Chain A
Amino acid sequence: MDMVIEAEGIRKRYGDQEALRGVDLSVPAGTLLGLLGPNGAGKTTTVRVLATLLEADAGRASVAGYDVSTHPREVRRRIGLTGQYAALDERLTGRENLQLIGVLHRLGRRGAKTRADVLLDRLDLGQVAARPVKTYSGGTRRRLDLAASLIAGPKVLFLDEPTTGLDPTSRLILWDMIREQLAGGVTVLMTTQYLEEADQLADRIAVIDGGRVIADGTSDELKAKVGGERLEVTVQDDAAIPAAVTALREVTAMEPAVERNGRTLSVSLRDQLKTVAEAASALDAAQVRPIGFAVRRPSLDDVFLALTGGTTGKEG
């Protein structure tokens, strides 16, 4: 398949700290690769190298068919970058921001104006276009920032934590915008801390930790790595735990894991329906009245925790 983003053995060192220790990535045309990892894993550094902002110490990378270190300008003509914070001029209006970026993208004054109007309309920014960006809400800013990275119709889009700090509605709007770009054939590399976001948008996911890609695959492939479905039983008070543990152990011949608050037990399910039925009657016989009884597929959180050894962080 045609790889639009390719990286091989990218290394980057800041002083005595190795930010990237040999990152390999490849993203096929028109797909989204989710780059998932804890803080300081090297997600942003990877994006900055691929977007030609940062020169790698070693390794080779190409974007849209051009080598990032030997032909950075050709790469820049074909990419759009949305960083962790909206990189906009606060004092200019939304329209002026887009026009400025368009002119600097060599669309010409008229071309930049036309393109800005198209994007403002398409991203539903028409009403706020004449107001200075400093009056915008966080979600509107991000939308404008994404519009700015789309101004020259990029082939490749780099999104570095595009929805960090956004409310759920704004996040859904941004997700739709990203899906629209994918449908239009744009290739996307997106970093995120939100596992749900990667699950929702990514064709493939690469998990990065300590400056290295430690796992990659589709969301389902990654989930399969940490095992199948589990039955979760939550009880009301601590007194019921021993009886519940005994009942589940008898049914599954395994030691149930005690999770989170200490009142949730979980066992892995081999023969789903049969084990669920048996567990239910065993609990009933032991007079345990669970307040939660659910079959759960592993989430990306589980994958993430299992792969990174529990060093996850939610904030940016």
Chain B
Amino acid sequence: MELVSDVSALFGRHMRHLARIPEKLLSVTLMPIAYVIVFGVLFGSAISVPGSDYRSFLMAGIFTQMMLTNVGNTALGVAGDLGNGVVDRFRSLPMSRSAVLIGRTLSDVALAVIACVAMAVVGYLIGWRVHQGIPKAVAGFGILLLLGYAMSWLGALIGLLARSAEAVNSIAFMLVMPLTFLSNAFIPLNGLPGWLRVLCEWNPVSAVVAACRELFGNTSTGTGKGALPVQYPIPLSLALIALLLAIVVPAAVGAYRKAAAR
């Protein structure tokens, strides 16, 4: 009960930020829209994949890429609170210890919901459609947001350990770049050399993207056989996200306990 009231107070704090920090509002509206236009329209017009139009194929990848930006968003917010003493104040209050991180990660997921809506609308305008019915599409977004939640916790851990905005930016970039591009987000994997293909197939991002493509009905026929995550993307993406959360949540809560600023 106490946890719920603390989390809701902190959630309210972050939602107020959305209205007050223009960059934050832009990052959940204009940026995702730009992603869809740049990747979907520009690349989508130049490349084709077998069995599907590339634009529709790309949408799951773009949604997933957006979820990965939660790493940096959450990490920057946490590092900022550490740097200006806000975390010290919270730690001196008789509040529950995990509330600060839960409030932060949940609010970053709420922002991801806004981003998903913006992207889906623009996607629709450029011709993206779901073909498996609304319940399955909603399930696809559920998996995406779970990934976003796990990425927020990963970001919280990075923010607590790295502490400075500069370090956070470079760590998040080094992490998110390979996760995005060594995956099936923008390309079908069957054209890759063997070892690279195995690496990309086991990337949890690939499982999430493949699961969304399946649930949205945007699959390419050229996928063929592959590693387990590509064959059974829905259960495996859930399992990989659960595994990630099981590692990152306790680590971040532990780091918060020790986050005495100096």
Known: A92-B13, A96-B16, A132-B20. A81 touches B90 (CB 8 A): no
Chain A residues near B86 (CB, 8 Å)? Answer: 87-89
- Pick from B9, B85, B88: contact of A100, CB under 8 Å: B9
Q: How far is the CA of A106 from the CA of B2 in the complex (A)?
A: 8
Do B17 and A91 touch (CB < 8 A)?
Answer: yes
Chain A, residues 84-128, CB within 8 Å of chain B (1/0): the string is 111111111000100011011110000000000000000000000
A5 at the B interface (CB under 8 A): no
Q: Which residue of B20, B21, B84, B262 is within 8 Å of A85 (Cβ)?
A: B84
Q: How far is the CB of A186 from chain B (nearest CB, A)?
A: 16
User: Which B residues between 1 and 59 are near A, CB-CB below 8 angstroms?
Assistant: 2, 5-6, 9-10, 12-13, 16-17, 20-21
Contact: B13 with A89, CB < 8 Å?
yes
Assess the A101–B89 pair: CB atoms within 8 A. yes
State whether the Cβ of A51 lies closer than 8 Å to any Cβ in chain B.
yes
> Are A81 and B21 neighbours in the complex by a CB distance under 8 Å?
no
Comparing B92-100, B108-116, B141-149, B229-237, the segment that makes contact with chain A is: B92-100
Taking a contact as CB atoms closer than 8 A, the residue among A81, A84, A85, A132 that contacts B92 in the complex is: A81
User: A104 to B95, alpha carbons, bound, how many Å?
Assistant: 6
B92's nearest neighbour on chain A, judged by CB, is: A81
Q: Which of A71-79, A161-169, A209-217, A268-276 contacts B (4 or more CB under 8 A)?
A: A71-79
User: Contacts A86-B85, A87-B84: A76 and B16 contacting too (C-beta < 8 A)?
Assistant: no
Minimal beta-carbon separation of A23 from chain B (angstroms): 17
- CB-CB nearest in chain A for B16: A92
A100 to B86, CA, bound (A): 12
Q: A54 at the A/B interface (Cβ < 8 Å)?
A: yes
Q: Do A53 and B13 touch across chains, with their CB atoms under 8 A apart?
A: no
Contacts of B93 in A (CB 8 A): 76, 101, 104-105
Bound-state CA distance A85–B84 (Å) is 7
Contact with B along A40-70 (1 / 0, CB 8 A): 0000100010011110000000000000000
Within 8 Å of chain B (Cβ to Cβ): is A279?
no
Residue pair B94, A77 in contact (C-beta under 8 Å): yes
Is the pair B9, A83 in contact by a Cβ cutoff of 8 Å? Answer: no
Contacts of B2 in A (CB 8 A): 106
**What is the chain A residue whose CB lies nearest that of B5?**
A103
Contact with B along A132-173 (1 / 0, CB 8 A): 100000000000000010000000000000000000000000
Contacts of B10 in A (CB 8 A): 100, 104
Inter-chain contacts of B136 with A (CB < 8 A): none
- Tell me, yes or no, whether B138 is within 8 Å of chain A by CB: no
B129 on interface, CB distance cutoff 8 Å = no
What per-residue 1/0 map shows which CB atoms of A204-248 lie under 8 Å from chain B? Answer: 000000000000000000000000000000000000000000000
- Give the shortest distance, in Å, between B8 (CB) and chain A (any CB): 9
Q: How far, in whole Å, are A104 and B9 apart by their CA atoms in the complex?
A: 7
B260 within 8 Å of A (CB atoms): yes
Chain B residues whose C-beta falls within 8 Å of the C-beta of A87 in the assembled complex: 84-86, 88-89
B13 close to A84 (CB less than 8 A): no
Within 8 A of A (CB), among B157-207: none
Bound Cα distance A83, B260 (Å): 12
Cα-based distance from A86 to B20 in the complex (angstroms): 20
Contacts of B6 in A (CB 8 A): 103-104
Q: Which of B20, B21, B92 contacts A53 (CB 8 A)?
A: B92
6 smallest CB-CB distances across A and B, nearest first, come from: A87-B85, A87-B89, A76-B94, A81-B92, A103-B9, A91-B20
Q: Can you offer 9 A-B residue contacts whose CB atoms are under 8 A?
A: A44-B262, A52-B92, A76-B92, A83-B88, A83-B89, A96-B16, A103-B5, A103-B9, A106-B95
